[in-house]
């Protein structure tokens, strides 16, 4: 008996949405990288223009300064220190470091999106299994047929019942035939079980990849930023802390973003790995309970 899965269109639409989200993510990454490059070029051009216009102004100011200024009392004005936060560090960072930061932020967003999607999927699957298991233990055939397509246990019971109908639940059989029937029911029930496990385990590889590689991607941005800081030291021929500190701070921000993306990814991966193990255990227990019930019914017929 061939059964149709009403969730197949929903699964196809879910796959299409994931592909569309991935394409949009790649497009946003490309556009952001182009904006970063354009902004860096604009900042470089503005700095060159300011440097070219500042030199004549300084010379003119020195020539027009009155002679009595030498005898005038000196007044020092304290300018307030410029704020140097995360936003300023990002905009003053190198293009490569900016690209690394943007990629890590996108990885973090993908991690949290997977978290919310998995929470909904696991909660729905657990509720469906609990409803079907209650109907199975109460021997409510009507409720079992109604809920068989919406839960993993129901799909396992459906294919096992198909195998039982082919064998004939009312016929008398010896112990060897019953054992072979139970083996076939166990094998056929494992097929939808593995299919549901693959569906629940989707995107787990993305979490594992982000958790394993994000710190090293951030470290790459840090190394690149520190190289630029040492290059600026060689260019300006000074080792002042005011020259080196901003570049190093921008570089360390990449490492911080890498850890910010990796730590939640690892924790979320471990949480859902435990949930999948519990889910597999509940399905295995249901399979054993279903086979025991079938064996008991066949023994009564004998």
**194, exposed or middle or buried, with CB in 10 Å at 0-12, 13-18, 19+?**
exposed
**Dist. CA 172–CA 178, nearest whole Å:** 10
The widest CA-to-CA distance across the chain, in whole angstroms, is 123
The whole-model pTM stands at: 0.67
Copy the structure tokens of residue 89. Answer: 């560090």
- The pLDDT of residue 207 is 93
- The pLDDT of residue 77 is 42
DSSP 8-class letter at 237: T
Of 202, 14, 25, 212, residue with least CA distance to 110: 25
Please name the residue that has the structure tokens 């246990």.
Answer: 153
On the CB side of 90, how many CA atoms lie within 13 Å of its CA? 13
Q: Which residues contact 5 (CB under 8 A, 6 or more apart)?
A: 149, 155
- The pLDDT of residue 172 is 66
On the CB side of 20, how many CA atoms lie within 13 Å of its CA? 6
**Dist. CA 175–CA 211, nearest whole Å:** 52
DSSP 8-class letter at 79: P
**Dist. CA 228–CA 222, nearest whole Å:** 10
In order along its 302 residues, the chain shows pLDDT tens digits of 444 454 555 556 566 656 665 556 555 555 554 554 455 455 555 555 655 554 454 444 444 444 444 443 444 343 445 665 667 777 777 788 888 889 999 999 999 999 999 999 999 999 999 999 998 888 888 888 888 888 889 899 988 888 888 877 556 667 788 888 888 888 999 999 999 998 888 889 999 999 999 999 999 988 888 887 777 777 777 666 666 676 777 788 888 899 999 999 999 999 999 999 999 999 999 999 998 888 888 777 66
- The pLDDT of residue 36 is 47
**Dist. CA 139–CA 296, nearest whole Å:** 14
**Dist. CA 152–CA 2, nearest whole Å:** 17
In the chain, how many H helices and how many E strands?
8, 0
- Residues 253, 105 contacting (CB under 8 angstroms): no
- The pLDDT of residue 9 is 53
């Amino acid at each position: 008996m061939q059964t149709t899965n009403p969730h197949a269109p929903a699964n196809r639409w879910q796959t299409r949405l994931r592909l569309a989200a991935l394409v949009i993510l790649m497009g946003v990454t490309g556009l952001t990288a182009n904006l970063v490059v354009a902004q860096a070029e604009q900042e470089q051009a503005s700095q060159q223009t300011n440097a070219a216009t500042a030199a004549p102004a300084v010379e003119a100011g020195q020539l027009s300064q009155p002679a009595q200024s030498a005898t005038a009392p000196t007044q020092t004005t304290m300018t307030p220190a410029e704020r140097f936060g995360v936003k300023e560090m990002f905009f003053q960072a190198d293009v490569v470091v900016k690209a690394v930061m943007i990629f890590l932020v996108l990885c973090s967003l993908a991690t949290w999106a997977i978290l919310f999607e998995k929470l909904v999927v696991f909660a729905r699957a657990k509720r469906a299994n609990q409803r079907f298991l209650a109907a199975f233990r109460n021997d409510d055939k009507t409720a079992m047929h109604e809920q068989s397509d919406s839960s993993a246990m129901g799909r396992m019971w459906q294919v096992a019942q198909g195998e039982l109908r082919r064998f004939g639940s009312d016929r008398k059989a010896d112990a060897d035939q019953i054992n072979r029937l139970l083996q076939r029911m166990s094998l056929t029930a494992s097929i939808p079980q593995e299919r549901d496990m693959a569906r629940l385990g989707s995107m787990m590889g993305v979490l594992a990849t982000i958790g394993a590689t994000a710190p090293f991607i951030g470290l790459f941005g840090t190394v690149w930023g520190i190289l630029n800081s040492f290059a600026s030291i060689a260019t300006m021929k000074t080792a002042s802390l005011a020259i080196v500190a901003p570049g190093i701070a921008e570089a360390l921000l990449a490492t911080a973003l890498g850890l910010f993306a990796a730590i939640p990814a690892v924790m979320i991966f471990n949480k859902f790995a435990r949930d999948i193990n519990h889910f597999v255990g509940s399905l295995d227990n249901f399979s054993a309970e279903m086979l025991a019930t079938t064996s008991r019914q066949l023994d009564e017929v004998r």
